Chains A and B, each alone.
Chain A
Amino acid sequence: MVAIVAAGRCGSAFAAEIGTMKIAEELDALTTMGINPVRFLVVPKVIAMLAAVPALTVMGDVLGIVGGLIVSNLELAMPVSQYMQITQDEVSLKYFFEGFSKSFFFAAEIAVVGAWCGFNTGSDSVAVGRSTTKAVVIGILLIIFTDAVMAKIFAVLYGILG
């Protein structure tokens, strides 16, 4: 969930930023200053996403549990203690770590796809719009795909570990 929101928000922003820079010849300027635009622009974004997305994922996990608590308490009149008990029984730490470790892959994907779409922007301003859309679409598809692959990997891992 968090990764898809991040792909919509950050992936598109990265593509738009780098795409606009390309149109404004800023990427050419960096290159001729002897600065590699890929290193200069992409590396900080990947690092930022690797820090932000896992942190947001933890926050999302906590908020999800709190949200569930509010709904079950108000709508289903379930006592808080019972909800906490069920949550503790059902949500084991391994699910938390599964989501947490996946978030690193999602983060890197969002940053790389966003930047890649930005660098491949055409030469007119319409192209910036196109590459932001592309960044979101490819980003979300890749997240869903990675999620499926990782779910399989984790299932196998759980099988091995018992």
Chain B
Amino acid sequence: MADHSLTDQAKKKDPAVEVQNLTVGYEHQSILEHLNFKIPCRQIAAVVGGSGCGKSTLLKHLVGLYEPMEGKILIDGENFSQASEKEKQRIWRKIGIAYQGGALLRSLTVYENTALPLEECRRIPENEIHDRVMQQLALVQLDSFASYYP
């Protein structure tokens, strides 16, 4: 399985993430300017820096939550800021994000939080959702807390 996906990825020339002359910021204030980097497939990258230097800002732009002020962001060779809503949805399904504060919905239980993306954007039967959620929760030993609120 691992070998299979390796050859699959290797066939593609595009890096997983590519950033060209990227400037990010909020409203009219830029935070990071003229960034260029490539992250190849299957490579782990870390963004490090002091508090408030713009790590979260950069990542939120990389995942397409904000429009860059300048430059391009390519995910698997696809430009996020030129993508239509529908294409964005498709790209988002390839991305997993752990937010700084957890970002769990407090009105939903641990189980419901985990099940949410499966229920909302895929046609999966309920018992399969249940099995997958419990399996994932067991993986992080949270299965006995499934009915708790975060």
Task: Give A138 to B63 CA distance when docked, in angstroms.
Answer: 34
Tell me whether A32 and B92 are in contact (CB under 8 A). Answer: yes
Q: Does B3 contact A (CB under 8 A)?
A: no
Q: Does A101 contact B (CB under 8 A)?
A: no
Q: Which of the candidate stretches A5-13, A22-30, A60-68, A148-156 sits at the interface with the other chain?
A: A22-30
Q: Does A162 contact B (CB under 8 A)?
A: no
Q: How far is the CB of B81 from chain A (nearest CB, A)?
A: 15
Q: How far is the CB of B126 from chain A (nearest CB, A)?
A: 18
Given known pairs A33-B120, A34-B121, the reply for A28 and B99 (CB within 8 Å) is yes
- Of A21, A34, A35, chain B has the most CB atoms within 10 Å of the CB of A34
Q: Cβ of A31: which chain B residues have Cβ within 8 Å of it?
A: 65, 92
Across the interface, B103 reaches (CB within 8 A) one of A26, A40, A123, namely A26
Q: Which of A27-79 contact B (CB under 8 A)?
A: 28-35, 40
Q: Does B49 contact A (CB under 8 A)?
A: no
Across the interface, B65 reaches (CB within 8 A) one of A21, A28, A34, namely A28
Q: How many residues on chain A are close to B (CB under 8 Å)?
A: 14
Task: Give A29 to B120 CA distance when docked, in angstroms.
Answer: 13
Q: Cβ of A26: which chain B residues have Cβ within 8 Å of it?
A: 103-105
Tell me whether B99 and A29 are in contact (CB under 8 A). Answer: yes
Tell me whether A28 and B60 are in contact (CB under 8 A). Answer: yes
Chain A binding surface, main DSSP class? helix
Across the interface, A32 reaches (CB within 8 A) one of B26, B95, B100, namely B95
Task: Give A24 to B97 CA distance when docked, in angstroms.
Answer: 14
Q: Does B28 contact A (CB under 8 A)?
A: no
Closest to A122 in B: B26
Q: How far is the CB of B9 from chain A (nearest CB, A)?
A: 22
Q: Does B89 contact A (CB under 8 A)?
A: yes
Q: Does B125 contact A (CB under 8 A)?
A: no
Q: How far is the CB of B135 from chain A (nearest CB, A)?
A: 19
Task: Give A34 to B101 CA distance when docked, in angstroms.
Answer: 19
Tell me whether A34 and B117 are in contact (CB under 8 A). Answer: yes
Closest to B116 in A: A33
Tell me whether B99 and A34 are in contact (CB under 8 A). Answer: no
Q: Does B93 contact A (CB under 8 A)?
A: yes
Could you tell me which A residues sit within 8 Å of B by CB distance?
A: 21, 24-26, 28-35, 40, 123
- Please give 17 more A-B residue pairs, beta carbons under 8 A apart, in addition to A25-B103, A29-B97: A26-B105, A28-B60, A28-B65, A28-B99, A29-B99, A29-B103, A31-B92, A32-B63, A32-B95, A33-B92, A33-B116, A33-B117, A33-B121, A34-B92, A35-B117, A35-B120, A35-B121
CB<8 Å pairs between A and B, sample of 22 = A21-B105, A24-B101, A25-B99, A25-B103, A28-B60, A29-B99, A29-B103, A29-B105, A31-B92, A32-B64, A32-B92, A32-B95, A33-B116, A33-B121, A34-B93, A34-B117, A34-B120, A34-B121, A35-B116, A35-B117, A35-B120, A40-B120
